[in-house]
Amino acid sequence: MPENRKFSVPLEAIDEIVRVSESGITATKMIHTEEPYLEGHYPDFTIYPGVFIMESVNQTVDAYVARVLGADRIADLVAVMSARFTSPVLPGDTLQVSCQVAVQGDDLAVEANCRTAAGAAAARLKLMYRITGGGTR
């Protein structure tokens, strides 16, 4: 990683939007060994924390809302229906976050499948968001 790389606050949990459609979005996040939040998580087996995988999903949903529903709309997480973390995401991995989205009035039902670039299933989440701002769709 370049020495001049700056870490931002809050966490930049996605690096690139790969695909956007009416029914979903895919984004990626490269996990760099030098990222300060990895230090000590865990000392002998460093992994990308599950809560950060959740944040990667949240930021992917935010990008979907801005691009598909409008930049004046905001997605607020209101329910975690299920969250299953199935394999670790390690430094050097690229996390791919694929979200299938169903608009239900002012709500979004999101099913997120997270994988490493090697194809290992890392997490599967079912979430409900409330859309606010900009009127209803």
Give pLDDT tens digits for 105-123: 999 999 999 999 899 999 9
Domains assigned to the chain: 16-132 (3.10.129.10)
Residue with tokens 């209101």: 78
Share of the chain above pLDDT 90, in %: 77
Which of 121, 10, 101, 94 lies closest to 60 in space, CA to CA?
101
Query: 124 pLDDT band (50/70/90 cuts)?
Result: very high
Answering whether pTM is above 0.75, one says yes
The chain-wide mean pLDDT, for the chain, equals 90
Widest distance between CA atoms in the chain = 49
| pLDDT (mean) for 46-63 | 95
Query: Any idea of the CA torsion for 35, 39, 41, 43, to the nearest 10 degrees?
Result: 140
Active site residue 41: yes
| pLDDT (mean) for 94-110 | 96
Residue 43, classified by CB atoms within 10 Å of its CB into exposed (0-12), middle (13-18) or buried (19+), is exposed
CA 58 to the chain's CA centroid: 5
Catalytic residue, chosen from 12, 34, 41, 72, is: 41
Helix or strand or coil: residue 46?
coil
pLDDT at 74 over 80: yes
pLDDT at 133 over 80: yes
Q: Strand ranges (DSSP E) for 1-137?
A: 16-21, 24-30, 74-85, 94-104, 107-116, 121-132
